C-alpha cells in the first residue's frame, strides 16, 4: 500500500514490453498466445494500480471484464489453433502465410 | 421593283432544296431544267432590281434591303444572326451599283452555263447532284456579293469554297479529282485565315463588321492598321482568286467537269476576291503600301501564269493559267486604284473566258474526252459553231480591237502606266504572252492536220469523227460570243462616262478610275496594246499553224509551273510531315501516352511496393501494430515534455 | 513523483513483497519469452500469474487476486497445457534463427521506444486528483472489497456484465464448432455432449471449466479425425 503507484506502473510497463517482444520474436503459436496473456496481465496490473490510487472501484471492475474477455479469447484462439494445426507437423506462425499479397 | 432583290439568292436556294428532295426522282434532264429555271428566275429578279436601282437618283443608289428596301438608316434586315457583346451581326442585303453589277453577270453567266450543263452532263450517273451543287454555289455566290457585313460575306466565301470542292471532286472515283478537290479547299482555307484575322482586327479597331459602319469610321484605322487589315484580306483574296502565293490549286481544279471550270474558275468564284477588294476600297485608299503590294503581286502573277500557259499541253490547263493571269490583271488594276477598270475587266473576262471554257468543253465532248491539244487539230471542219464562237473568245482574250478584251485590258494597262511604268511594261509583256498562248491554243486545236485521226506515238488510239455539240450547248456559246464582242461598247471612249464608268463611279467616290491621262497618251497606249496583240498572234501563227511538236518552245521549267508545287512540298510539306511525325511519335506517343501510362504504371509500381507489406506473416503484422503503438506513445510523450 | 504518493513512507514488508512479487513477474515473463520448450513456457507463465496475483493482494484487490489464480492460472494455463500436449509436446522451436528480415532488430527498437516513452510519461505524469469517482472507493465505508466490486458490477456495469455473459456463451459455441469433426461418423455423440454442457454460466469462474469439458471429446489425441477445412 505504501509502495508508490508509479513503481507498479513501471513494472507493468516492463511486463508489457517483455510480452510484446515475445510476441514479435517467437514463432511458436502457443508461446505467442502466452505472451499476449502477459500483456493482458500488465494491463490488469495497471488498472488495479490506478484503481487504488484514484480510489475508484471502476478500475477493478474493468479488470473483472478483461479477465472474462481474456478467457473467452483464449478459448476461441486455442480452438482455432487446434483446428489449423491438427494435422501439421509443426506449429510455427510462419507457416501460415498463404494470404501473402 | 427593288423588292425583287431578295428573290435573287432565294430562288437558287429553293432550287437547291427542291433538287435535294426530288432531284433523283425527276432525273435527267428534268433536274437540269429545274436548276436552270431557278437561276433564270434569279436573273430576271436581278434585271428587275437593276431597273429599280437605276430609277433611284445617282447619289442615292446605296440601299440596304431585306424583304423590303430602304436607305441605310432604315436598318432593314432579315434577322439578327447573333448579338454578342459589342458584336451585332444582322443578315441584310447591301445593294449598290457594285453588287448589282456583280449579280447581273453572275446570274446571267450562271444561267447560260446551267443550260449548257443540261446537255454536257447528260448520261452522267450523278446528273441531279451536279445541279444541286451548282444551284448551291450560285446561292452562296449571291450571298457573298449581296451581304452587308464582313461575316455574312465570309459565309458566302466559305460556301463557294465548299461548293468548289464538291464540284471539282465531282468524279471523286478518280484519285486525281479527289486530290484536286482537297487541294482547292485547303488552299482556300489557308487564305481564309487572313480573312478571319482581318475581321478580328477590324472589329477590334472599329467595333463593327458592317461595311457601311467601317467605312464611316475608317478614320479609326490609323497608321499601319489599315495596311494590316488590307493585307490580311489580300491573303484571303490570293487564296480565293488564285494569285501568288496560293494559286496552284486552280490548274488542278480543272479535274472537275468543264461547266464547273467555266462557271467557278473563270467567271464567278475567282472573281470574288476582286469583288472583296473593290468592296473595301475605302480601306485600300488609306494605305498606299498595301496597294503597292497588291499591284506588284497582281502584275507578277499575271506574268508568271502567262509564261506557264505558253507551254501547257492540256487545253483546260492553258485556260486555267490564263484565268490566273487575267485575274492578276484585275488585281493589278485594283492595286493601281483603278477599281472600275478591274470590274470592267472582270465582266468582260467572264464573258470571253466562259466562252473559251465552254468552247473547249464542246471540243472535249466532241472528241470523247480528249484534252491533249497535241491530239487535236483541224477541227474547224467538224465543229463549225464551236470554231466560230471560239474565234470571238480567242480574239477577245488576245486583246484585238474592237472586242471587249482590248478595251478592258487597255484600261488596266493605262492605269498601270500612271502608277508606275515598270508595272505597265510587265503588263505589256504579259499581254504579248497572252496573245501568243491563246493563239497557240487556237491553232493547235482548230487548224493544222487532224492528229486525232491516227494513233499517237505513245499508243493512244485514234478518235472517230467528232460531232458538233447539240443546240442546247450551242446557245450559250453564241450568247457569250455576242457579249464578249459587244461588251467593249460600254467602254468606248466617247461612251464611257455615261455608261459603265458613270454607273460605278459613285461607289468608289474619291478613289475612282484613276487614269487621268491626256487623250493623246491614251491613244498611244491603245495602239501599243493592239500592236502587241497582233505580234503575239502572228508569232503563234508562224510557229504553230502547221507543226504541233516543238519541245524547244516548251521548257520543262514552265511546264512544271515553275516547280511551284515541288517548292511548296519541300518547304512546307516535308517539314510539316516531319513535325506531324514528331508530334505523333514523340509528343503523343512518348509524352502524352507516357504520362497517362506513366500514371497507371506509377499506381502499379506503388501497389507493388506496398504489396510487400503484405508478407503473410502474422509476426510482421504484429510488428506493424507495435510500430503504431510506439508512434502513439512517442507522440504523447512529445506533448507532455 | 507526486508528493501525495509519498504521504506514507514505504514500509519494509511492503517493499520486500513488491520486490519478490516483481521478480516473480519479470522472471516468469522472461521465461515465457525465452523458453525453447512450450511446457516450460507455460509453467513460467504460471509463475508470472502468481506474481501478479500477489501484487493484486498488495493493492487491496482481494477478489481479483483470487479470480486471477482460479481463472488464469487454474483454467487458462491448463487449457494451454492441454493444447500443447495435443499438438506435440516435444516440438522444439528454433530460437536462434529468424527467417523474417529485420524482425528482431525492429522489434527491439520499437519496444524500447515504447517502454522508454512510457517510463518517461510515468515520471513526468501529474496524477489527476479531481472529483471523486461516482462508483465509490475501493475500500472504506465498512465494506469489503468483494462487496464493493460486486455492487459496482451488478449495478453500474450491469450492461457490460450481461454482454460478457453473452460473450462467454458465444465463445463456448465457437469452441465447439471449431474443434469438432466434419459431418459423418461420430456426429451425434459430440452434439449431445455439446447440448448438455451448453448452459450459460454467468460467473466467470466456472466458464473455463465448461470450456474444458467441450474440448474433451475432440481433444483426445488418440482419435485422429478429419480436420474440417
Q: What is the mean pLDDT of residues B331-336?
A: 90
Please give chain C's pLDDT, 229 residues, in tens.
444 444 467 888 999 999 999 999 999 999 999 998 889 999 999 999 999 999 999 998 999 999 999 999 999 999 999 998 888 776 677 777 777 777 889 899 999 999 998 888 887 766 655 555 555 555 555 678 899 999 999 999 999 999 999 999 999 999 999 878 776 544 444 444 444 444 444 444 444 444 444 444 444 444 444 444 4
A13: which residues sit within 8 A by CB, 6+ positions away? A42, C115, C118, C119, C122
* A11 occurs within a structural domain: yes
Distance between CA atoms of residues B286 and B221, nearest Å: 8
Q: What is the mean pLDDT of residues B302-307?
A: 93
Residue B513 confidence (pLDDT) above 70? no
Share of chain C above pLDDT 90, in %: 41
C-alpha cell at B326: 487575267
* A60 occurs within a structural domain: yes
pLDDT tens-digit map of B127-160: 889 999 999 999 999 999 999 889 999 999 999 9
* A101 occurs within a structural domain: no
Distance between CA atoms of residues B209 and B200, nearest Å: 9
Query: What single string gives the DSSP state of each residue in B35-56?
Result: HHHHHHHHHHHHHHHHHHHHHS
- C23 Cβ under 8 Å from any chain A Cβ: no
**3-class secondary structure, B57:** coil
Domains held by chain A: number: 1
Do β-strands B93-95 and B63-65 pair in parallel, antiparallel, or remain unpaired?
antiparallel
**What is the ipTM, given to two decimal places?**
0.93
Residue B326 confidence (pLDDT) above 50? yes
Which residues sit opposite B210 in a β-bridge?
Answer: B149
pLDDT of residue B161: 92
The C-alpha torsion from B525 through B531 and B537 to B538, rounded to 10°, is -160
Residue of C nearest to B638 (CA): C117
* A98 occurs within a structural domain: no
Q: Which of B61, B160, B46, B50 lies closest to B111 in space, CA to CA?
A: B46
Question: How many CB pairs below 8 A link A and C?
Answer: 268
pLDDT of residue B134: 93
Question: How many CB pairs below 8 A link B and C?
Answer: 40
pLDDT of residue C183: 66
* A50 occurs within a structural domain: yes
* A82 occurs within a structural domain: yes
- B625 Cβ under 8 Å from any chain C Cβ: no
Query: What single string gives the DSSP state of each residue in chain C?
Result: --GGGGSSPPPHHHHHHHHHHHHHHHHHHHHHHH-SBHHHHHHHHHHHHHHHHHHHHHTT-HHHHHHIIIIIIIIIHHHHHHHHHHT-TTPBP--S---STTHHHHHHHHHHHHHHHHHHHHHH------SPPTT--SSBTTB-HHHHHHHIIIIITHHHHHHHHHHHHHHHHHHHHHHSPPSSSS-HHHHHHHHHH-----SHHHHHHHHHHHHHHHH-TTS--PPP-
Asked if C111 and B620 come within 8 Å (Cβ–Cβ), the reply is no
pLDDT of residue B518: 66
Segment holding B460, helix H or strand E = none
CATH number where A19 lies: 1.10.287.3510
Of A20, A23, A97, the CB nearest to B617: A97
DSSP category for residue B246: S
* A96 occurs within a structural domain: no
Instruction: Please give the mean pLDDT across all residues of chain B.
Output: 86
Residue A18 confidence (pLDDT) above 90? yes
Mutate to test the interface with C, among A14, A78, A83, A91 (most CBs of C within 10 A): A78
**3-class secondary structure, B90:** strand
Name the residue range of residue A65's domain. 5-90
Q: Are B309 and B318 in contact (CB under 8 A)?
A: yes
Counting as contact any 3 or more CB pairs under 8 A, the partners of A are B, C
Rg (CA), chain C: 23
Most confident of B288-302, B564-578, C42-56: C42-56
pLDDT tens-digit map of B349-408: 999 899 999 999 999 888 888 888 888 888 888 888 888 899 999 988 988 887 877 878
A13–chain B nearest CA distance, Å = 12
pLDDT of residue B57: 78
Q: What is the mean pLDDT of residues B163-175?
A: 92
Asked if C117 and B630 come within 8 Å (Cβ–Cβ), the reply is yes
Distance between CA atoms of residues C3 and C12, nearest Å: 20
Q: Which residue has the cell 497608321?
A: B223
pLDDT of residue C131: 53
Q: What is the mean pLDDT of residues B77-100?
A: 86
Of A20, A25, A94, the CB nearest to B617: A94
pLDDT of residue B405: 79
B624–chain C nearest CA distance, Å = 10
pLDDT of residue B495: 57
Q: Are B305 and B328 in contact (CB under 8 A)?
A: yes
Residue B123 confidence (pLDDT) above 90? no
Residue B515 confidence (pLDDT) above 80? no
Sign of the torsion angle spanned by Cα atoms B322, B324, B330, B332: negative
Who has greater pLDDT, B511 or A73?
A: A73
Asked if B616 and A20 come within 8 Å (Cβ–Cβ), the reply is no
Distance between CA atoms of residues B603 and B382, nearest Å: 82
Asked if B636 and C107 come within 8 Å (Cβ–Cβ), the reply is no
pLDDT tens-digit map of A38-95: 999 999 999 999 998 888 899 999 999 999 999 999 999 999 888 888 777 776 888 7
pLDDT of residue B494: 58
- Quote the pTM value: 0.69
Chain B residues touching A25 at Cβ < 8 A: 619
Q: What is the mean pLDDT of residues B448-459?
A: 77
* A95 occurs within a structural domain: no
Q: What is the mean pLDDT of residues B337-348?
A: 86
Amino acid at each position: 500500500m505504501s509502495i508508490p503507484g508509479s513503481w507498479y506502473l513501471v513494472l507493468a510497463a516492463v511486463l508489457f514490453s517483455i510480452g510484446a517482444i515475445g510476441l514479435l520474436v517467437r514463432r511458436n503459436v502457443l508461446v505467442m498466445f502466452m505472451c499476449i496473456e502477459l500483456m493482458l496481465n500488465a494491463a490488469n496490473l495497471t488498472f488495479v494500480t490506478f484503481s487504488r490510487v484514484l480510489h475508484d472501484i471502476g478500475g477493478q471492475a474493468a479488470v473483472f471484464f478483461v479477465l472474462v474477455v481474456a478467457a473467452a479469447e483464449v478459448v476461441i484462439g486455442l480452438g482455432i489453433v487446434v483446428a489449423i494445426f491438427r494435422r501439421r507437423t509443426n506449429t510455427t506462425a510462419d507457416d501460415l502465410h498463404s494470404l501473402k499479397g | 421593283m427593288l423588292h425583287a432583290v431578295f428573290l435573287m439568292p432565294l430562288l437558287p436556294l429553293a432550287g437547291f432544296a427542291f433538287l435535294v428532295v426530288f432531284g433523283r426522282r425527276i432525273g435527267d434532264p428534268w433536274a437540269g431544267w429545274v436548276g436552270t429555271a431557278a437561276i433564270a428566275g434569279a436573273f430576271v429578279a436581278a434585271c428587275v432590281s437593276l431597273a429599280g436601282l437605276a430609277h433611284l437618283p445617282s447619289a442615292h443608289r446605296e440601299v440596304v434591303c431585306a424583304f423590303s428596301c430602304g436607305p441605310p438608316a432604315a436598318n432593314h434586315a432579315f434577322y439578327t444572326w447573333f448579338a454578342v457583346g459589342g458584336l451585332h451581326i444582322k443578315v441584310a442585303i447591301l445593294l449598290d451599283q457594285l453588287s448589282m453589277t456583280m449579280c447581273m453577270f453572275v446570274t446571267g453567266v450562271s444561267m447560260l452555263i446551267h443550260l449548257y450543263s443540261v446537255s454536257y452532263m447528260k448520261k452522267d450517273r450523278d446528273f441531279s447532284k451536279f445541279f444541286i451543287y451548282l444551284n448551291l454555289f450560285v446561292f452562296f455566290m449571291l450571298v457573298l456579293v449581296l451581304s452587308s457585313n464582313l461575316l455574312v460575306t465570309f459565309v458566302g466565301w466559305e460556301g463557294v469554297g465548299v461548293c468548289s470542292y464538291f464540284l471539282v471532286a465531282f468524279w471523286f472515283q478518280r484519285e486525281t479529282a479527289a486530290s484536286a478537290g482537297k487541294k482547292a479547299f485547303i488552299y482556300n482555307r489557308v487564305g481564309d485565315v487572313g480573312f478571319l484575322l482581318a475581321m478580328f482586327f477590324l472589329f477590334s479597331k472599329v467595333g463593327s463588321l458592317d461595311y457601311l459602319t467601317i467605312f464611316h469610321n475608317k478614320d479609326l484605322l490609323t497608321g499601319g492598321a489599315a495596311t494590316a487589315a488590307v493585307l490580311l484580306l489580300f491573303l484571303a483574296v490570293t487564296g480565293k482568286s488564285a494569285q501568288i502565293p496560293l494559286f496552284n490549286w486552280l490548274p488542278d481544279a480543272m479535274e472537275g467537269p468543264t461547266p464547273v471550270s467555266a462557271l467557278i474558275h473563270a467567271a464567278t468564284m475567282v472573281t470574288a476576291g476582286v469583288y472583296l477588294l473593290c468592296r473595301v476600297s475605302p480601306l485600300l485608299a488609306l494605305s498606299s503600301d498595301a496597294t503597292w503590294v497588291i499591284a506588284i503581286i497582281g502584275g507578277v502573277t499575271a506574268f508568271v501564269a502567262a509564261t506557264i500557259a505558253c507551254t501547257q499541253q492540256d487545253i483546260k490547263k492553258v485556260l486555267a493559267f490564263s484565268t490566273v493571269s487575267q485575274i492578276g490583271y484585275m488585281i493589278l488594276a485594283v492595286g493601281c486604284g483603278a477599281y472600275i477598270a478591274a470590274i470592267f475587266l472582270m465582266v468582260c473576262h467572264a464573258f470571253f473566258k466562259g466562252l473559251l471554257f465552254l468552247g473547249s468543253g464542246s471540243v472535249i465532248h466532241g472528241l470523247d474526252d480528249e484534252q491533249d491539244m497535241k491530239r487535236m487539230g483541224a477541227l474547224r471542219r467538224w465543229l463549225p459553231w464551236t470554231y466560230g464562237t471560239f474565234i470571238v473568245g480567242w480574239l477577245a482574250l488576245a486583246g484585238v480591237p474592237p472586242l471587249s478584251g482590248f478595251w478592258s485590258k487597255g484600261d488596266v494597262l493605262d492605269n498601270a502606266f500612271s502608277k508606275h511604268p515598270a508595272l505597265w511594261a510587265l503588263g505589256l509583256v504579259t499581254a504579248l504572252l497572252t496573245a501568243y498562248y491563246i493563239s497557240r491554243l487556237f491553232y493547235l486545236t482548230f487548224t493544222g492536220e487532224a492528229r486525232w485521226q491516227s494513233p499517237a506515238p505513245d499508243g493512244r488510239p485514234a478518235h472517230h469523227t467528232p460531232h458538233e455539240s447539240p443546240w442546247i450547248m450551242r446557245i450559250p456559246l453564241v450568247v457569250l460570243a455576242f457579249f464578249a464582242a459587244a461588251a467593249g461598247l460600254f467602254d468606248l471612249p466617247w461612251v464611257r462616262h455615261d455608261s459603265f464608268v458613270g454607273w460605278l463611279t459613285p461607289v468608289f467616290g474619291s478613289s475612282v478610275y484613276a487614269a487621268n491621262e491626256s487623250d493623246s497618251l491614251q491613244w498611244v497606249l491603245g495602239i501599243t496594246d493592239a500592236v502587241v496583240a497582233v505580234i503575239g498572234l502572228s508569232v503563234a501563227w508562224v510557229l504553230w499553224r502547221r507543226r504541233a511538236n516543238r519541245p524547244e518552245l516548251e521548257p520543262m521549267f514552265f511546264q512544271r509551273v515553275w516547280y511551284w508545287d515541288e517548292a511548296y512540298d519541300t518547304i512546307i510539306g516535308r517539314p510539316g510531315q516531319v513535325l506531324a511525325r514528331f508530334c505523333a511519335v514523340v509528343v503523343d506517343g512518348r509524352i502524352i501516352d507516357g504520362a497517362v501510362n506513366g500514371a497507371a504504371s506509377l499506381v502499379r509500381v506503388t501497389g507493388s511496393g506496398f504489396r510487400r507489406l503484405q508478407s503473410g506473416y502474422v509476426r510482421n503484422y504484429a510488428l506493424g501494430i507495435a510500430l503504431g503503438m510506439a508512434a502513439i506513445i512517442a507522440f504523447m510523450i512529445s506533448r507532455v515534455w | 513523483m507526486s508528493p501525495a504518493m509519498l504521504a506514507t513512507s514505504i514500509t519494509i514488508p511492503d517493499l520486500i513483497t513488491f520486490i519478490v512479487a516483481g521478480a516473480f513477474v519479470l522472471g516468469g515473463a522472461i521465461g515465457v519469452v525465452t523458453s525453447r520448450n512450450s511446457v516450460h513456457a507455460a509453467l513460467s507463465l504460471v509463475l508470472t500469474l502468481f506474481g501478479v496475483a500477489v501484487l493484486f493482494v498488495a493493492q487491496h484487490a482481494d477478489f481479483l487476486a483470487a479470480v486471477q489464480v482460479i481463472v488464469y492460472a487454474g483454467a487458462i494455463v491448463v487449457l494451454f497445457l492441454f493444447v500443447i500436449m495435443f499438438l506435440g509436446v516435444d516440438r522444439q522451436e528454433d530460437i536462434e534463427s529468424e527467417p523474417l528480415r529485420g524482425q528482431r532488430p525492429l522489434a527491439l527498437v520499437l519496444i524500447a521506444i515504447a517502454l522508454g516513452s512510457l517510463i518517461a510519461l510515468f515520471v513526468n505524469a501529474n496524477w489527476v486528483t479531481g472529483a471523486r469517482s461516482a462508483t465509490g472507493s475501493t475500500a472504506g465505508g465498512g465494506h469489503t472489497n468483494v462487496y464493493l466490486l460486486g455492487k459496482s458490477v451488478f449495478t453500474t456495469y450491469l450492461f457490460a456484465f450481461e454482454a460478457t455473459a453473452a460473450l462467454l456463451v458465444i465463445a463456448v459455441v465457437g469452441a465447439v464448432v471449431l474443434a469438432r469433426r466434419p459431418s459423418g461418423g461420430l456426429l451425434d455423440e459430440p452434439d449431445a455432449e455439446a447440448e448438455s454442457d451448453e448452459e450459460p454460466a454467468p460467473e466467470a469462474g466456472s466458464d473455463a471449466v465448461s470450456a474444458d469439458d467441450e474440448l474433451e471429446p475432440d481433444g483426445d489425441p488418440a482419435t485422429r479425425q478429419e480436420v474440417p477445412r
